[in-house]
Copies of this chain bind each other. A is one copy, B any other.
């Protein structure tokens, strides 16, 4: 059909990580939490189901915004809820970026930003991370056009590293546009950037309940921004973007900080073991502040290793970033989500058998 906008026809859609059905695969490829969510989440969802689903949900997800605001130290009007943080990234892009505009983000990072720019018929300006995963001044002065929006995944994927809040504050000050700090993995990190939102209207933090609260299947995320920013973003969202079950479940989830602390503790312990053992196996692994680790290898080609792991029933993410390597560091690596100890032991045993 020739009616579609030409740039939509020309673009390639985003390909999410594989989602094999069934329980036979040890799935360590999309950074899901290996544990069940808080039982309080399940109970809250059950109550809504019993009450019935015939009525529309609260368009503003007020219950969640009040509870999250209490937990995080913000008034509810600083919070905007979405159908996963992906929807908030979409809303932000639509509200700020038009055809021909420039979107800046660091590389390698979350490739969805490119898809979001493509849909808006916008241009992308990728700025390479330094070799130690710090971010240089090119991020604010790249010379490749004035950006209308900048994204920083922090902690970053695939590296699992963090740009410190002081540095993020400086980047936000120097940028000529809003900076979205995508904190999808922040609950596994030592620092966060929420305080910057209070100080700078240009800083917008997005979060998701998918990873740390084990709710990928529920689709619930939120943004924290100054109220006059939220006010504009609301215009772009679908009226009833969060369903009644996800609002109730997400509210119960963020209310159960004891569950979060316990689950975080387990994942960080497993992450430490995984990192150490991968290094023993000859991988280069940077210290992670997320629920995954990024393993590159100085000599072994990793795509065959990924394939052999998959054949052995262990699915990790093979990622290749052309132009990222520097002769010493290679372009590609394996991103391994932190599963249960049993899953990680199985993955490591298989890896050990595959490497020389």
Contacts and interface: CB of A to CB of B under 8 A. Distances in A.
B177 A86 contact: no
A246 interface: yes
A27 interface: yes
Contact of A84 (B27, B96, B238): B238
A330 interface: no
A291 to B, nearest CB: 11
Given A95-B8, A218-B245, A241-B83, A19 B119 contact: no
Interface in A48-102: 48-50, 52-59, 83-84, 86-87, 90, 94-99
Contact of A46 (B46, B218, B240): B46
A64 to B, nearest CB: 14
A94 B4 CA distance: 9
Contacts of A148: 3
Contacts of A30: 56
A355 B54 CA distance: 31
Contact of A53 (B37, B83, B90, B178): B37
Residue among A9, A219, A249 facing the most chain B CB atoms (10 A cut-off): A219
B119 A58 contact: no
A169 interface: no
Interface in A201-258: 201-202, 210, 214-219, 226, 228-229, 232, 234-236, 238-246, 249
A235 B53 contact: no
Residue among A1, A45, A97, A229 facing the most chain B CB atoms (10 A cut-off): A1
A167 interface: no
Interface stretch (A10-18, A132-140, A292-300): A10-18
Contacts of A228: 1
A275 interface: no
Contact of A48 (B52, B217, B229): B217
A309 to B, nearest CB: 19
A98 B90 CA distance: 16
B243 A246 contact: yes
Interface residues of A, number: 81
Given A5-B96, A19-B59, A99-B98, A53 B243 contact: no
A218 B219 CA distance: 12
Interface in A13-45: 13-14, 16-17, 19, 21, 27, 30, 32-37, 41-42, 45
Given A1-B228, A3-B178, A216-B240, 20 more contacts: A3-B177, A4-B232, A5-B96, A16-B59, A19-B57, A27-B55, A30-B56, A36-B53, A42-B50, A46-B46, A52-B217, A53-B218, A54-B216, A55-B217, A56-B217, A83-B219, A84-B238, A119-B235, A219-B240, A245-B246
Please list the 3 inter-chain residue pairs (A to B) with the smallest Cβ-Cβ separation, ordered nearest first. A217-B244, A53-B217, A13-B235
24 contacts: A1-B226, A14-B239, A16-B240, A19-B55, A19-B58, A35-B54, A42-B49, A45-B49, A46-B46, A53-B214, A57-B216, A57-B219, A84-B238, A86-B238, A90-B238, A94-B94, A94-B119, A115-B235, A119-B236, A216-B240, A217-B244, A217-B245, A218-B243, A218-B244
